[in-house]
Amino acid sequence: MTILAETPTAAPSATEGAVLYAEVQQFYARQMQLLDLNRPQEWAATFTEDASFDVPTLPEPVRGRAGLVAATTRSHAQLEESGQRHRHFMGMLDVRPREDGTVHVRSYAIVYASTIGQDSRVHRVCVCEDVLVRGAGGLLVATRRVTRDDLA
Amino acid sequence: MTILAETPTAAPSATEGAVLYAEVQQFYARQMQLLDLNRPQEWAATFTEDASFDVPTLPEPVRGRAGLVAATTRSHAQLEESGQRHRHFMGMLDVRPREDGTVHVRSYAIVYASTIGQDSRVHRVCVCEDVLVRGAGGLLVATRRVTRDDLA
Amino acid sequence: MTILAETPTAAPSATEGAVLYAEVQQFYARQMQLLDLNRPQEWAATFTEDASFDVPTLPEPVRGRAGLVAATTRSHAQLEESGQRHRHFMGMLDVRPREDGTVHVRSYAIVYASTIGQDSRVHRVCVCEDVLVRGAGGLLVATRRVTRDDLA
């Protein structure tokens, strides 16, 4: 059911835990906004160089930033062509710092779709399991695995 | 309108307030994920032994963990039978620490439903009023009162 | 695309950043709940005296608290008349403290609508760009600009 239970859990202080929780929220807010703003290079830079990205909309997992840029550029072009906008809204972040310095996060991600000139609706309801690592500029996604509630 | 206005409000420092806010967010993320993962025992353990749980889907308020386990096990079986998945997404947490050590939280909870093989949609829009207390392992729900926006 | 890139970014410590992030979340939770609870005076008091409020549902930007009270009182009366309830659910807060002491926040705001006796659904998907300033009692919105995903 989950990839997030393997390494021992770290035990940060209450303040360290709160600082990490806010940092993870800010990281995801920025990452998802970059995706929805169609800035694929900056979005891909929030993943590690060799990140693994496994989502149901792709036929197989993508590895590395070039693949991430290609996949999201393609998706965005299709959206534009069909007069749609997507917003990725994450929440319910279960944030688990590990002794090895990684941060495991299991969250919910709702994708909203709007048709310009028409209406807005729920597009997808997803569960997102990430392993985050710390890079020079802050957190980075090392692995992401997304499942969709409407698929078996 | 609200059960959350009776005891005097505590005045924590800015850092204490931020630590509590993050703790409450992490608590709810874990609690709702346990519910949606169908782990009724672990979910019920996030309530006090004699917790009161008043939600519109139940004919009358439930009291205590055994009742919580029974109610949620029944709900989950019905979901599975109908090929549905639910996700409970809370947010807009208005967190009010009280002088008596309790924490009053008024929040919004959206329930998303997905039919496997079909689509996803908003199922319920709710307001959740909790009184949280501090147990040995962290926060616990002592009382929960949920109202649904589609009911009078 | 964005009004939020003009003044230099401040560099708070990790703890200061976390405290601000929690404070902004709590501020929005309270602000949106006041709106949805139809307490227009208290809601308007979360804006500066001369706040600018630019949303697609109004024919032109509103300036100042009296205008805010009038606009939201009107909206709420229309909702009541049609047997509807709205909930404003914000998230994905990209929080940027500036050197001039303001806090720029770009977020997503989902408006859910429920028809009493019937169902609940997504009403609007919006992007909200705020400039927050610090008043005597805490944060205040100085300028708000909201765009709707379903409009060109």
pLDDT of residue B6: 60
> How far, in Å, CA of C43 to CA of C75, rounded?
14
Length of chain C in terms of residues written: 152
Among A33, A88, A114, beta carbon nearest to C106: A33
How many independent structural domains does chain C possess? 1
Model's pTM, two decimal places? 0.94
Q: Kindly report the number of other CB atoms within 10 A of residue B62's CB atom.
A: 22
Q: How many CA atoms lie within 13 A of A137 on its CB side?
A: 8
**A49 vs A143: CA distance, rounded Å:** 11
Q: Dump pLDDT digits (tens) for C90-132.
A: 999 999 999 999 999 999 999 999 999 999 999 999 999 999 9
What CATH number has the domain bearing residue A52? Answer: 3.10.450.50
A10: chain B residues, CB-CB within 8 Å = none
Q: Which two tokens stand for residue B133?
A: 């207390």
The minimal CB distance from C116 to the residues B92, B106, B150 is found for B150
Phi, psi at A91, each rounded to 5°: -170, -170
Rounded CA Rg of chain C: 16
Q: Which has the closest alpha carbon to B15: A27, C26, A19, C137?
A: A19
ipTM of the complex: 0.93
CA–CA distance, C130 with C4 (Å, rounded to integer): 8
Q: Is residue B4 one of the residues assigned to a domain?
A: no
B92 shares contact with chain A (CB less than 8 Å): no
Asked whether the predicted pLDDT for residue A18 surpasses 60, the reply is yes
Question: Could you tell me which residue, A1 or C13, shows the higher pLDDT?
Answer: C13
- CB of C137 within 8 A of CB of A116? no
Identify whether the C-beta of residue C87 lies closer than 8 Å to the C-beta of residue C111. yes
B104-123 confidence digits (pLDDT tens) = 999 999 999 999 999 999 99
Look-up: residue for tokens 């290079």? Answer: A41
pLDDT at site B95: 98
Name residues of chain C where pLDDT drops below 50: 1-3
CB-based contact A146:A127 (threshold 8 Å): yes
pLDDT of residue A4 exceeding 80? no
User: CB of B125 within 8 Å of any CB in chain C?
Assistant: yes
Pairwise CA distance, residues B6 & B96, whole Å? 11
CB within 8 Å of chain B, chain A residues 36-65: none
Domain presence at residue A1: no
Sign of torsion, CA C40 C45 C50 C54? Answer: negative
The verdict on residue A7 lying in a domain is no
Residue at A142 is within a domain? yes
* pLDDT value of position B35: 98
Q: How many alpha carbons lie under 13 Å from residue C110 in its C-beta half-sphere?
A: 30
Taking the CA atoms of B107, C110, B120 and A71 in sequence, report the sign of the dihedral they define.
Answer: negative
Interface membership of A112 toward B (CB under 8 Å): no
Contact between B111 and B126 under an 8 Å Cβ cutoff? The reply is yes
Cβ C127 vs Cβ C106: under 8 Å: yes
Please check whether residue C6 lies inside any domain of the structure: no
Instruction: Choose, out of C23, C108, C123, C151, the residue to mutate when testing the contact with A (most A CBs < 10 Å).
Output: C108
User: What does the radius of gyration of chain A's CA atoms come to, in whole angstroms?
Assistant: 16
Residue C60 is part of which domain span?
13-148
Sign of CA dihedral B55, B57, B62, B65: negative
For the four alpha carbons of A101, A2, A86 and C90, in that order, the dihedral sign comes to negative
In a domain, C53, yes or no: yes
Q: What is the pLDDT of residue C6?
A: 60
What is the Cα–Cα distance from A38 to A17, expressed in whole angstroms? 32
> By three-state DSSP, how is residue A131 classified?
strand
d(CA A25, CA A32): 11
Q: Is residue C4 part of a domain?
A: no
Q: What is the pLDDT of residue B146?
A: 98
Contact indicator for A6, B10 with CB cutoff of 8 Å: no
Evaluate whether C47 touches C68 at the Cβ level (below 8 Å).
yes
For chain B, which residues score pLDDT lower than 70? 1-6
Q: What is the pLDDT of residue A69?
A: 97
- Residue C5 domain-assigned (yes or no): no
Determine the pLDDT at residue B8: 81
Mean per-residue pLDDT of chain B: 94
Residue at C98: amino acid letter: R
Give Dmax (Cα) for chain C. 50
